[in-house]
Structure 1
Amino acid sequence: MNRPELDYYAVLDIPRSTTKQDITLAYRRLAIRLCPHRDKKDAQDFVPLAQEGRLTHLSPMGEAKQWAYVNMAFDVLGNDLYRAIYDRYGEAGLFEGVMLPNGYFPPYQYHGEHMKVYESVFASYSPYANVIDAITNPPSLYSTKKLGIGVRSKDADTEKIIQLSLEEVRSGCVKLMHVWRQEIVDAKESRLEKRKHTLKLNIAPGTTAGTRFCFKEEGDRYPASIPGDVIFIAADKPHPEFERRNLHDLVYRYNIDLGQAMTGFIFFISTLDKRQLKIVITDVVHQGYCKVIPLEGLPKCRNLDAVTAIKEANKKNDQFGDLIIEFNYIFPKYLTPTMKSMTREFFREFHKLEVELEEEEKQKML
């Protein structure tokens, strides 16, 4: 920046911790004093400080400059997103644009229409407000030799599916998406050319399938229309070992034989973030049995709005889903007569012991 940054809180004479309601009240107090359309003869009723020759704390600046600063300050602080960016990145971040956790914030530019800000707070400032707005903020027009003059309409959005591996969902990543779009390549807007354009896509840890990442007006450029949005829709890429369930849980399937199912076993799982989990099973793995390992699933992506995402940009996510282990029984494909005889004898003895244990339990209860 070539000039010192403007302190918008000082302009409205409020502390940085003030609420949005108090920001609006501070603006209303100053706007009543500084609005150029106020009736001067009623100034004494609303502005006691006028008796002292100073209207606001911004004196000795001229009223026109005070009026401009007050409206610009409220345009920023009265908007939750602009205020969050200003608080974190300063005026430089507003004017230059910043990369946020859920997309790019383009450079902010104050529109300069002070009465438009005034009207948004006080509901109206003139019976001809709609006519004035149409003049001061006209619709986007085109003018070409072929089509003449008309109002630009927005093109249809372009939607693309982006496949994300579970490893990318687990840790988060940045994707550079290359799209080809029509662009105007001459000053007369008569020649179009296909050119590659790169969009930066920030994938937050735990991003769920179906999440939409919208890049506003990044579609094809045509002289007579407004570019459509480019939207990327997240989808899960099939994984050889894990499957997502309930948004943030992971399912892992492990094959066991009947001996393991009845006697217990130990095995290891390689996690998505390259750790080794030791799993000890001591229970009898009956039909429908599953082992749940808490907090070993995917991060819980809360899909925060831009304001909250800025405030919690450096905060570590400690909320995870669970790892659910399901078991598949592998039966022997063939048993010899001897093996069948041994199996019958085993289960005969097994059931005999079960009956004896039941009898002992009954005796103890008596």
Structure 2
Amino acid sequence: LLQVYAGAGLIGFVADISTCHCRRSTGETNGNNEGSKICQATEPAFIIPEPLKWNPTIIHRDLHLSLDDLFHGCTKKIKISRRIMNEDGYTSSIKDKILSINVKPGWKEGTRIIFSKEGDQGPNSIPADIVFIVRQKSHPMFVRQLNDLIYKAQISLEMALTGFSVDVETLDGRLLNIPISDLVHPTYKKVVTEEGMPLSQDASQRGNLIITFDIQFPDKLSAERKHLIKQALK
């Protein structure tokens, strides 16, 4: 017979009276001719194991980082408040702790940083793990796609047809001057190799900078200009 000792987390097993050989056993057999004695004890015999410990749910927290943080790498220090067991093993108190996160260049959205057993302590529980999940903030100039950076340049129709140069200030403060000699159509992209995000596995390698174009068409054209454009495109 399995007994659960409620509230204390203890599991007790009642001894099988057909095979008990305690001092209170009578001389009667159990009917199987093996000579086992039947116990007349009124209290059950318990086998008491160690208290069971439960593992609470993992604690998830967002870690908001700028694109500059993820490009250069940085150190973030986060203060948490957690319940700590006192020396008596029964009472607890709230104490603050600083967790330090070393952000590596090239980390992506969704990267997880795990602090094992840094959650609240309890008398019969294992402290939960705290998991920080990287959330990338938006950037005014660039959109990130994996290891590539997307930059959108606004140009006029004249520039799209005749050529121009694009100036792009990189995340590490350099100014790139990129000549465009091709005819630029709405789906045209200019790829500048190794000017994107560093790779988290090897920061010496980089993704690409991809320039897209928003072509600004004129609101209206005079008849003379329309004629000139037709002549030029023949």
TM-score calculated relative to the size of structure 1: 0.49
Q: Distance in 2 between matches of 1:348 and 1:327?
A: 24
Aligned to 2:207: 321
Aligned to 1:276: 175
Q: Distance in 2 between matches of 1:275 and 1:154?
A: 50
1:9-48 to 2 correspondences below 5 Å = none
1:1-366 to 2 correspondences below 5 Å = 147=8, 150-184=51-85, 186-245=86-145, 247-302=146-201, 317-333=203-219, 335=220, 339-352=221-234
Give the deviation of 1:189 after TM superposition: 3.0
Q: Secondary structure at the match of 1:347?
A: helix
Q: Distance in 1 between matches of 2:230 and 2:134?
A: 56
Paired AA for residue 110 in structure 2: G
Superposed CA deviations along residues 72-121 of structure 1, whole A, max 9, x for unmatched, are xxxxxxxxxxxxxxxxxxxxxxxxxxxxxxxxxxxxxxxxxxxxxxxxxx
Indicate the structure with greater strand content. Answer: 2
**Are the equivalent residues in 1 in contact too, given 2:186–2:214 (CA < 8 A)?**
no
Give the deviation of 1:318 after TM superposition: 2.1
**Unpaired runs of 5+ in structure 1?**
1-145, 303-315, 353-366
Give the deviation of 1:332 after TM superposition: 2.6
Indicate the structure with greater helix content. Answer: 1
**Are the equivalent residues in 1 in contact too, given 2:79–2:98 (CA < 8 A)?**
yes
Paired AA for residue 165 in structure 2: I
Q: Secondary structure at the match of 1:226?
A: coil
Note the aligned Cα RMSD (angstroms): 1.7
Give the deviation of 1:195 after TM superposition: 2.3
Q: Distance in 2 between matches of 1:193 and 1:346?
A: 82
Q: Distance in 2 between matches of 1:226 and 1:351?
A: 75
Superposed CA deviations along residues 296-338 of structure 1, whole A, max 9, x for unmatched, are 0001113xxxxxxxxxxxxx732110000000111233x3xxx
Aligned pair in 2 of structure 1 residues 177, 340: CA closer, same or farther (>3 Å)? same
Q: Distance in 1 between matches of 2:170 and 2:52?
A: 55
Which runs of structure 1 show a deviation greater than 6 angstroms over 4 or more consecutive aligned residues? none
Aligned to 2:34: none
Which structure has the bigger radius of gyration? 2
Give the deviation of 1:147 after TM superposition: 4.2
Higher relative contact order (CA 8 A, sep 6+): 2
Give the deviation of 1:236 after TM superposition: 1.2
The count of corresponding residues between Structure 1 and Structure 2 is 188
Q: Distance in 1 between matches of 2:83 and 2:181?
A: 63
Aligned-pair identity in percent equals: 35
Q: Distance in 2 between matches of 1:251 and 1:160?
A: 28
